[in-house]
Amino acid sequence: MEKDRVKAVPTSIGFIIRPIQQNDYLAKAHVATAGDAPISFARSSTGEVSVLSGNKAETVLYTLNNGKANTYKSSFDLRQGGTITAWYQGNEKLKVTQQYSKIETVPMEVVFASSQETGEGDAKNLLDGDPTSIWHTMYSVTVAQYPHWVDFDAASVKTIKGFTFLPRPDGANGDIKDYKIQVSKDGKNWEDVMSGTFERNKNSKPFVLRNLSRTLYSLYRIKFTTWR
């Protein structure tokens, strides 16, 4: 039942031990805890902070970086980081504090790949943070010819300084030589922003966009034009 489901969100859990008589399980289970309920925080990958209260009837106050107290009504952006403190109005004994660092990376999602070997080399592996996983173009059914490209969605318009690309660490094949970065606002019209050539090694390769004023887009395409 919906009321009994625990979702994949930060959740405070408690329990009550009660004696059972004459199999009155349901009657004994339909009770609620009394007293103070904890306050906690959750920050999404995009930097949105939510204040989670175990007592929905109480007004929650909070401060950011020891500033003026505000009444919490909805989540707010804390991508730049900071210290947040929250408590119930009129009850500061449950005051809780959490410090968040600045989010330096932009969460992205792979929305299209020109070619991928499904089940082994999915393009989403480019974003999973695991250096042992790879994006591999199709070879089992047909051998895909370059250029290959991957489209990334940043969910909203953001200023991006650049990307970091890690070549496949094992094996001699699959190294990328030339690349091109394109940007779009609608996924149909693409504008060239930057192109270049990677050094021939297995090191992590950061590449910085030279004109930051042109990076205010939500869709990014990295096109790999030649291989070594």
Of the candidates 91, 26, 106, which has an alpha carbon nearest to the alpha carbon of residue 58?
91
pLDDT at 28: 80
Is the model's pLDDT at 183 over the cut of 70? yes
pLDDT at 162: 84
d(C-alpha 99, C-alpha 159), whole Å: 24
Decide if 224 contacts 178 (C-beta within 8 A).
Answer: yes
pLDDT at 215: 53
Fill in the DSSP letter of residue 148: E
Amino acid at 175: D
d(C-alpha 28, C-alpha 18), whole Å: 7
Average pLDDT over residues 3-23: 80
Condensed to tens digits (0 to 9), the pLDDT of residues 20-39 reads: 888 888 888 877 777 778 89
d(C-alpha 114, C-alpha 158), whole Å: 24
Condensed to tens digits (0 to 9), the pLDDT of residues 185-198 reads: 888 899 898 889 98
